[in-house]
């Protein structure tokens, strides 16, 4: 079932960009860091929206967390290791971690651990497009595009033009 289409996703990202601007007016010491893959794409889109409003670029980077996952030894397939790109020091910056969906909190825990390999940020904030609940760790986003009530068995997919040829959010139930 499709929950969000392209236009609504665009409005949500615009709202999230305004929320970042409300908290960090000129974004002078802000760095957007997108978690690979779809979080990185969303961070790039947010950076474009912020640049349009600020008239200047916001520093952005990408973070691959596969080596920091707490389940990599139990996966049936080998994780695909990507590259992180953190263009400048994190020291004294506010890092806004960007991801598509937050579920258990374990991806964010891994991202926090990975970030610390690059420096000591002044603060880390979390921005997600979808919060579907069911946390296993005490991690909550600072910026949320949409909260969804889901069962743990359901799956939420964020489709992005960059990878999937269209923008949408869909939810699916396991086959019976």
pLDDT at 66: 85
Give a yes or no: residue 106 inside a domain.
Answer: yes
Helix (H, G, I), strand (E, B) or coil at 139: coil
Dump pLDDT digits (tens) for 119-174. Answer: 999 999 999 999 999 999 999 999 999 999 999 999 999 999 999 999 999 999 87
Distance CA 154, CA 175 (A): 10
Give a yes or no: residue 53 inside a domain.
Answer: yes
Give a yes or no: residue 57 inside a domain.
Answer: yes
Q: Which two tokens stand for residue 115?
A: 């970030």
Residue 175: pLDDT over 80: no
- Look up the domain containing 132 and give its range: 2-20+27-68+82-172
Structural domains of the chain, count: 1
pLDDT at 79: 58
77 confidence band (pLDDT: 50, 70, 90): low
Give a yes or no: residue 46 inside a domain.
Answer: yes
Dump pLDDT digits (tens) for 18-57. Answer: 999 999 999 999 999 999 989 999 999 999 999 999 999 9
pLDDT at 80: 63
pTM: 0.92
Give a yes or no: residue 42 inside a domain.
Answer: yes
Q: Which two tokens stand for residue 142?
A: 């600072």
Give a yes or no: residue 103 inside a domain.
Answer: yes
Distance CA 9, CA 141 (A): 18
Mean pLDDT of all residues belonging to the chain: 92
Distance CA 81, CA 55 (A): 35
Residue 72: pLDDT over 60: no
Helix (H, G, I), strand (E, B) or coil at 47: helix
Give a yes or no: residue 75 inside a domain.
Answer: no
Residue 74: pLDDT over 90: no
Helix (H, G, I), strand (E, B) or coil at 41: helix
User: What is the side-by-side strand order in the sheet with 168-172?
Assistant: 2-5, 168-172, 155-159
109 confidence band (pLDDT: 50, 70, 90): very high
70 confidence band (pLDDT: 50, 70, 90): low
The residue among 158 and 75 whose pLDDT is bigger is: 158
Find the CATH number of the domain harbouring 150: 3.40.50.2020
């Amino acid at each position: 079932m499709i929950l969000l289409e392209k236009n609504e996703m665009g409005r949500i990202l615009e709202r999230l960009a305004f929320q970042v601007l409300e908290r960090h007016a000129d974004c002078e010491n802000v760095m957007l860091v997108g978690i690979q893959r779809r979080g990185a794409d969303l961070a790039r889109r947010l950076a474009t929206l912020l640049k349009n409003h600020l008239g200047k670029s916001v520093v952005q980077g990408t973070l691959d967390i596969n080596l920091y996952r707490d389940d990599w030894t139990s996966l049936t397939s080998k994780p695909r290791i990507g590259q992180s790109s953190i263009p400048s020091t994190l020291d004294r910056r506010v890092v806004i971690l960007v991801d598509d969906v937050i579920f258990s909190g374990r991806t964010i825990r891994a991202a926090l651990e990975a970030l610390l390999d690059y420096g000591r940020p002044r603060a880390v904030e979390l921005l997600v497009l979808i919060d579907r609940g069911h946390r296993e760790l005490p991690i909550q986003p600072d910026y949320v595009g949409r909260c969804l009530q889901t069962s743990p068995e359901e799956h939420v997919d964020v489709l992005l033009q960059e990878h999937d040829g269209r923008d949408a959010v869909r939810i699916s139930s396991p086959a019976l």
